[in-house]
Chain A
């Protein structure tokens, strides 16, 4: 059984650029959630995808968008990057909404 994987591990971008982060969910899981974790803080919910449709969104602007594919993998896209977007982006997969969530190792995004 393969766990949740994320790519890339680290990423450095400049303000105004766009970024795409990728997540492969654990085998058999149909729900993917994305979180932003600033240094020293708890993760903040960005949005969740269930069976390829957005199923809940946190307090993040529309420049944060996502996709889920038929194989349940997912992408997080962020447009017009700002310095405050620098954070660890975590992906978590689960069988159902808010059931036990399995987290990937995260993507560390640095915006200069």
Chain B
């Protein structure tokens, strides 16, 4: 069974701080996606990474796919209260299903 473990599970920080969320697995994924979910809403896709070692930037968010395509990270620079939400990584596994990670709940205080 392919699993994606995210860490930390919870993160509570002050506005302006930097943070990194990790998404790890012992399995290889053909691609990996990052989503953000706010209360009462469905997840919204932030980015898809496909190539091992790939780095993508979305304003203050930097996403990296591990060289072996088993792990990924999301780094947020100068976090803002609007970044608050549940961050989910999701990978396409060997059974061709989208497997979601355990999630990281981020709270940014003003």
Contacts and interface: CB of A to CB of B under 8 A. Distances in A.
Interface of A: 4, 33, 35, 40-45, 48, 56, 58, 90, 92, 97-98, 100-106
Given A41-B102, A44-B100, A48-B97, 11 more contacts: A42-B100, A43-B88, A45-B98, A45-B100, A98-B96, A98-B98, A100-B45, A103-B41, A103-B42, A104-B42, A106-B41
B11 interface: no
20 contacts: A33-B98, A35-B100, A41-B102, A41-B103, A42-B101, A42-B102, A45-B99, A56-B95, A56-B96, A92-B42, A98-B31, A98-B92, A98-B96, A100-B33, A100-B45, A103-B35, A103-B41, A104-B42, A105-B40, A106-B42
Interface in B1-58: 4, 6, 31, 33, 35, 40-45, 48
A44 B2 CA distance: 12
A90 B6 CA distance: 21
Given A56-B95, A98-B31, A98-B92, A43 B45 contact: no
Nearest to B88: A42
B102 to A, nearest CB: 5
A64 B67 CA distance: 38
Nearest to A9: B40
A18 B5 CA distance: 33
A40 B42 CA distance: 13
A104 B42 CA distance: 5
Contacts of A100: 33, 45, 48
